[in-house]
Structures are given as C-alpha cells and as structure tokens.
Chain A
Amino acid sequence: MTTEYAGLAGWTPAALPVPGEVRPVVSAPDPVLSRPGPEVDPTSDEIVRLAADLIATMRVSPGCVGLAAPQVGVGVQVFAVDVTGHPKAVTVHGTFVLCNARVVEATRWKSGREGCMSVPDLTGDVKRASRLVVEGLLPGSGAPVRLVTDGFEARALQHEIDHCHGLLFLDRVAGAHAIYQRKVYQ
C-alpha cells in the first residue's frame, strides 16, 4: 500500500476537539527522556489530548519552539513544534503536532548552539541538517503528512524527533568542549 502524504493543508490546533492543559515539564536525568518511545495511534483520545496538552504547555513556556511527549513524562512518539516569529526561522509551518514522525531526507548539515527545556542549565553545539523532509501523522485525523523545511524549523524537528527516540542534544554534541553552562544575564 502506498501512503498518500499531503502537506499540513491548513491544519491548526483548532482541529483538535479538546482544549489543552498545561502539564509539568520534566528535566534530565529523568529516565523517561532517555527511553525510545513506541509509535502511537494518532486517532486515540489519549493521543489527541496529549497533542492539545503539548501545544498548551509549549504556549506558556517562554522561548519554547518545540515540545516532545517525553518532556511531559509520556514516553511516546508525539511532539509539537512552532517556530513562528523566531528570528532564525526561514520556512515556517505554524503550530503543528506530529505522531510517529521520521526523517526521510536530511542534507546541508550545519552546526548550531542548542538548548532544551529539559536540560535547563546547559547548551551544546550540535550538527543538524538544514534541509529536511519529515513524514508523520496528524493527531486526530491520523492523516499522513510530508513536511519539507529548512533552517531553524528543520533543527527544531530533528531535536523533537530525537526526544521521541530517547535522545537529548547531549547525545549529539560535537566533542568534549561542545557543552556549555547556560549563561545567566542579570
């Protein structure tokens, strides 16, 4: 069977039939962040609620451009991304949630400094593809989606897909001197 992939086709969080609730964000070394998550049924009530909660939690977290289910303590392959308005973003697909997402094409690798809400005190230099094709399923309808993106949104997608597979940016840093204490300016 060939799956017909479409774009996001105007999908918005309003497509989710439930309002999201803010969930607490867990930090490393919580083991849920290091365990690969299983695939999910994107049409199940539980996953639809999780999708809405991920968006709600992302919304209330300053500077947050993506949040994966393991970060709210649920070790499954679901994440939300929204890089709207970010100065480094070029292609922007708005707010969306993907289930069981996988990278199908990754090119133009570039290094960049990355942080993570679940590793609040450290940042690190990580090489990511700046041209990316990702396939996944929308929560609710379960519709298959193929996203072509670049730059900062591509980086955010790879970071969140890594979370779904139990990987943190710490697992991808370039070397022994590529992690940094996050600077606190007062």
Chain B
Amino acid sequence: MSELAITVIGRDRPGIVADVAEVLARLGANLTDSTMTRLRGHFAMTLICVGPAAADVEAALSPLAADGQLLATVRAVTPDGAAAPAGEPYVLAVHGADRMGIVAAMTRVLTDAGGNVTDLSTRLTGSLYVVVAEVDLPPGTFDEVAGRLARTAAELGVGVSLRPADTDLL
C-alpha cells in the first residue's frame, strides 16, 4: 500500500474536483488529507491518498491535463504517521502594503526560534497583503518571538500580531 502526494492546479472551471476524485476512486485510491481552494482564478488541490502505484495514478490523470489547462503531479511518499505537535500553537497575522519578502522575513523569525509553520494562507487584495499562519512555538519562547516579529514587521512597514490559538475542547 503506497502513500501518494498529488498536486493538481489549473484555471478554475466547474468539475475539477469531481474529475480528479473520480479518477482516484476508479483506481481504488483512498483520499485522506487534502486542501482544495481557488487562488486568484486558479483551482489548486494538494492531496494525500493511499492505494495504487504512482505511475498508475499519473497515467489515469493525464487525460485531464491533456488540454494544457491542468497540471497534475504524483509522487510516492513515505507514510510516517502524524507527527506529534512540536510546541504550543499560535496564530500569526501580518497585514500591510504589499512588498517583496514579507512571508520570507516573518517565517524566518519563526524558524530561527525553533518554531514550525503548520498552516499558512496569504491574500492580496488591492494593495493590502494579508498573511495568516498557524505555528507551533517551543514552550517559553513566546515573548522573545513576539518581540522579534514586531521588530521585523516594523522594518517591513507592516502590522503583526501573534496570539495563542484558541482550542475549545468540548
């Protein structure tokens, strides 16, 4: 049983999810984790599925990509199970005038502090650039990381906030 990492991206149109999911289902590929979203008119899918060989999936997806509107990649990956959380969860928000290197500079601060980005999305709307990231930080590093993020944000001329991720256990 192999685990596959699949990406599909292309100009958005109705039916991309159905087309791709149908191919996978026909091959007996079990779709596990995935994210699928529209990014500035392109539909992007990142999926993990378990089952068939990578070559079979690649071959089955190729007709979908034949018109040049969709790009699909398939890669076998090593199933290593869910990683234990590396620290305490926080939400980072950055917003300001768009410029080069905002994500690079802010995530470098997190990485240097031993943090790990677990989810991140960005939006550009007009001249406003927004980054929201979920990040695990080593215990006891919050104050230092928040200070470094504030200094880096000031250099970039953007606003930043870092706050604990809210988890409601019911």
CB pair A29–B119 under 8 Å, yes or no, is: no
Q: Is the CB of A29 within 8 A of B91?
A: no
Assuming the A-B contacts A29-B97, A29-B158, A121-B125, are A170 and B130 also in contact, with contact meaning beta carbons closer than 8 angstroms in the complex? yes
Is B47 engaged at the interface, CB distance under 8 Å to the other chain? no
Is A175 part of the binding interface, using a Cβ–Cβ cutoff of 8 Å? yes
Looking at the assembled complex, report how far the CB atom of A167 sits from the nearest CB atom of chain B, in whole angstroms.
7
Which chain B residues border A179 with CB–CB below 8 Å?
121, 123, 130, 132
Interface window among B6-14, B60-68, B78-86, B159-167: B159-167
Chain A residues in 8 Å Cβ range of B52: none
A31 at the interface (CB under 8 A from B): yes
A29 and B96 contact, CB distance less than 8 A: yes
Does A174 lie within 8 Å of B126, measured CB to CB?
no
- C-alpha gap A27/B130 in the complex (Å): 13
Could you tell me if B127 and A29 are in contact, using CB atoms closer than 8 angstroms? yes
Q: Give the secondary structure class of A's interface.
A: mixed
A6 contacts chain B at the CB level, 8 A cutoff: no
**Option from B126, B132, B157 in Cβ contact (under 8 Å) with A27:** B126
A8 contact set on B, CB distance < 8 A: none
Closest to B132 in A: A176
**Contact call B157/A31, Cβ cutoff below 8 A:** yes
**Beta-carbon contact of B95 and A181 below 8 Å:** no
Interface contact A181-B159, CB-CB below 8 Å: no
Residues of B within 8 A of A102 (CB): none
Interface presence of B105 (CB below 8 A): no
B97, B121, B159, B163: the one contacting A176 at CB < 8 Å is B121
Q: Are B166 and A181 in contact (CB under 8 A)?
A: no
Give the residues from 158 to 186 in chain A that come closer than 8 angstroms, CB to CB, to chain B: 166-168, 170-179, 181
Q: Are B95 and A28 in contact (CB under 8 A)?
A: yes
A52-91 vs B, CB cutoff 8 Å, 1 = contact: the mask equals 0000000000000000000000000000000000000000
Given contacts A167-B161, A173-B93, contact A29 B166 (CB under 8 A): no
A43 interface hit (Cβ, 8 Å): no
Known A34-B96, A179-B130; further 17 A-B contacts with Cβ < 8 A: A28-B96, A28-B128, A29-B95, A29-B96, A29-B127, A29-B158, A33-B159, A122-B125, A168-B95, A171-B95, A172-B161, A173-B93, A174-B165, A174-B166, A176-B120, A176-B121, A179-B123
- Chain A residues engaging chain B, CB cutoff 8 angstroms: 27-29, 31, 33-34, 119, 121-122, 127, 166-168, 170-179, 181
* Those 10 A-B pairs whose CB atoms lie nearest each other, nearest first: A34-B159, A121-B125, A176-B119, A171-B161, A29-B97, A29-B96, A176-B121, A28-B128, A176-B132, A170-B95
Give 7 CB contacts A-B under 8 Å: A28-B95, A34-B159, A122-B125, A167-B161, A176-B91, A176-B134, A179-B121
